[in-house]
């Protein structure tokens, strides 16, 4: 009898304690994540990712399907498209968690791609949503000697600052162009609060890859422009 009564009292106290904790948590207002912190967190998250041949094969098939749906020429390559199609879901999930976006319907207004080839939406829906994103965030476009240029993927933070994501594919045994990477990141930073460069290198990677990526970081010397390097199966496809 005593044990039963004690158990009921314990459950009652536990319930009241949880209720109080829930009310206190509801009063806590977490500060919005800053663009630079978001870019750094995305870089850390991606650095732990390892691409498998199966995952690359699925991304190739997806990019090929999108290209063929537009009746684009077969010789048009999409190396970066494959890398973006592979990594965009990871970036989206991580960014959504950091930005505390709980409703999937709200994602296109906060995280969206300028590339039709890497997005799940039908072409008409992609055009509509990309136009809405550009209208809401006109800083997506940056100027390059009088020409509008834009990154591949964008994340809009709560304060209105943009984090852009750029993908570079490096063929097996080859190296990235340091000067071109630095210029492009600086161009993005002219209008974006932070920018992330994702270099995907096909296996086998050049022995000089790491040292050249360090040169990119050394020339930038900017926490708002993290660089992450991934090495995996080649993304080339016919």
pLDDT tens-place values along the chain, 238 residues long: 455 555 555 455 555 655 555 454 444 445 678 999 999 999 999 999 999 999 999 999 999 899 888 888 766 668 999 999 999 999 999 999 999 998 999 999 999 999 999 999 999 999 999 999 999 999 999 877 666 778 999 999 987 799 999 999 999 999 999 999 999 999 999 999 999 999 999 999 999 999 999 999 999 999 999 999 999 999 886 5
- In the chain, the number of structural domains is 1
Domain that holds residue 199: 32-232
- With CA atoms as reference, report the closest residue to 228 among 191, 188, 201: 201
pTM of the model: 0.84
CA distance 181 to 201: 14
Confirm whether 178 is domain-assigned: yes
Confirm whether 5 is domain-assigned: no
Confirm whether 2 is domain-assigned: no
Q: What is the per-residue DSSP string for 28-60?
A: --PPPPPHHHHHHHHHHHHHT----HHHHHHHH
Confirm whether 105 is domain-assigned: yes
Confirm whether 65 is domain-assigned: yes
Confirm whether 1 is domain-assigned: no
């Amino acid at each position: 009898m005593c044990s039963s009564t004690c158990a009921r009292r314990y459950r009652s106290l536990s319930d009241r304690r949880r209720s109080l904790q829930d009310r206190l948590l509801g009063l806590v207002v977490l500060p919005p994540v800053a663009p630079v912190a978001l870019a750094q967190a995305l870089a850390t998250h991606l650095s732990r990712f390892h691409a498998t041949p199966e995952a690359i094969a699925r991304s190739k098939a997806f990019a090929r399907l999108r290209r063929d749906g537009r009746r684009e020429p077969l010789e048009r390559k999409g190396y970066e498209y494959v890398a973006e199609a592979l990594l965009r879901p990871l970036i989206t999930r991580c960014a959504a968690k950091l930005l505390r976006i709980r409703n999937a319907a709200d994602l296109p207004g906060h995280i969206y791609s300028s590339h039709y080839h890497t997005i799940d939406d039908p072409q008409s829906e992609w055009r509509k949503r990309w136009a809405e994103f550009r209208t809401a965030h006109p800083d997506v476009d940056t100027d390059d000697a009088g020409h509008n240029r834009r990154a591949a993927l964008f994340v809009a933070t709560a304060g209105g600052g943009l984090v852009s994501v750029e993908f570079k594919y490096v063929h097996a045994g080859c190296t990235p162009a340091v000067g071109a990477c630095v210029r492009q990141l600086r161009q993005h930073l002219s209008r974006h609060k932070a920018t992330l460069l994702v270099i995907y290198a096909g296996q086998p990677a050049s022995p000089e890859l790491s040292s050249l990526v360090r040169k990119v970081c050394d020339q930038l010397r900017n926490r708002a422009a993290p660089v992450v390097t991934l090495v995996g199966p080649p993304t080339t496809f016919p």
